[in-house]
Amino acid sequence: MKTDYDRVVEHLNNHGVIAFKTDTVMGLGVNGLDNLAVKNLFDLKGRSYDKPLYLLAYSIEQIYEYTYGISDAALDLMKKYFPGALAIILRSQKKLYTKPDEKGETLGVRIPKYTDLLQFMAYIKMPILNTSANISNEPPLLSKDDVLKTFGDRILFVEFEHDIEMLGLPSTVVDVTSGIPVIIRKGAIEI
């Protein structure tokens, strides 16, 4: 049963953490404009403060709203792999808290290949900063039951109308801030 999206917006506006299915693995997300929410997410996972979150975007236009200087190499990767299991690191306009108390110089961005998730993000009109649903340094969680067992009432689980089969691997991460793509993490797709 689909979750009431207005309830999710209220939760996010109160510094809350949400959990949801993506095309890769289960995800956790927060409003990237909310420093306290970002800190809550880091603390929930036990995540090191030196590992930034990334923007789970619903459109290329949303990516342009938070980044700048997108190179031809980055555009080529976006055209080929978005939507999909690729996260691209770009230069940030420093509008989002990618770490607690810090608006980073760079911003990882990804557009997932899951129509219901894209429609949800477009509806709430909030920059969702994302990470995999797990305790840091543990494998990503692959089911709603595992997410609820791990995080309980410390998150709001967002249900979508349609289900998809996840890839079961996190996204591949490529840094293009220098203009030349550099693979940071091998993941669900080969570049």
Residue 95 counted as domain residue: yes
DSSP 96-159: S-SBTTB--SEEEEE--S-HHHHHHHHHHT--EEEEESSSTTSPPP-SHHHHHHHHGGGSEEPP
Question: What local confidence, expressed as pLDDT, does residue 2 receive?
Answer: 87
- Domain total in the chain: 1
The owner of tokens 């976006």 is: 78
Residue 114 counted as domain residue: yes
The whole domain housing 165 covers: 5-185
Question: What local confidence, expressed as pLDDT, does residue 1 receive?
Answer: 72
| Domain CATH code at residue 96 | 3.90.870.10
Q: Which amino acid is at 59?
A: S
Number of other residues whose CB lies within 10 A of the CB of residue 147: 21
Question: What local confidence, expressed as pLDDT, does residue 63 receive?
Answer: 98
Residue 190 counted as domain residue: no
3-class secondary structure per residue, 49-112: CCCCCEEECCCHHHHHHHEECCCHHHHHHHHHHCCCCEEEEEEECCCCCCECCECCCEEEEECC
- Tell whether the torsion through CA atoms of 18, 19, 20 and 24 is positive or negative: positive
Residue 34 counted as domain residue: yes
User: Would you write out the chain's pLDDT as a tens digit for each of its 191 residues?
Assistant: 789 999 999 999 999 999 999 999 999 999 999 999 999 999 999 999 999 999 999 999 999 999 999 999 999 999 999 999 999 999 999 999 999 999 999 999 999 999 999 999 999 999 999 999 999 999 999 999 999 999 999 999 999 999 999 999 999 999 999 989 999 999 999 98
Question: What local confidence, expressed as pLDDT, does residue 158 receive?
Answer: 98
Q: For residue 189, what is the DSSP state?
A: S
Question: What local confidence, expressed as pLDDT, does residue 50 receive?
Answer: 94
Tokens of 138: 């543990």
Residue 191 counted as domain residue: no
CA-nearest of 163, 177, 158 to 87 is: 177
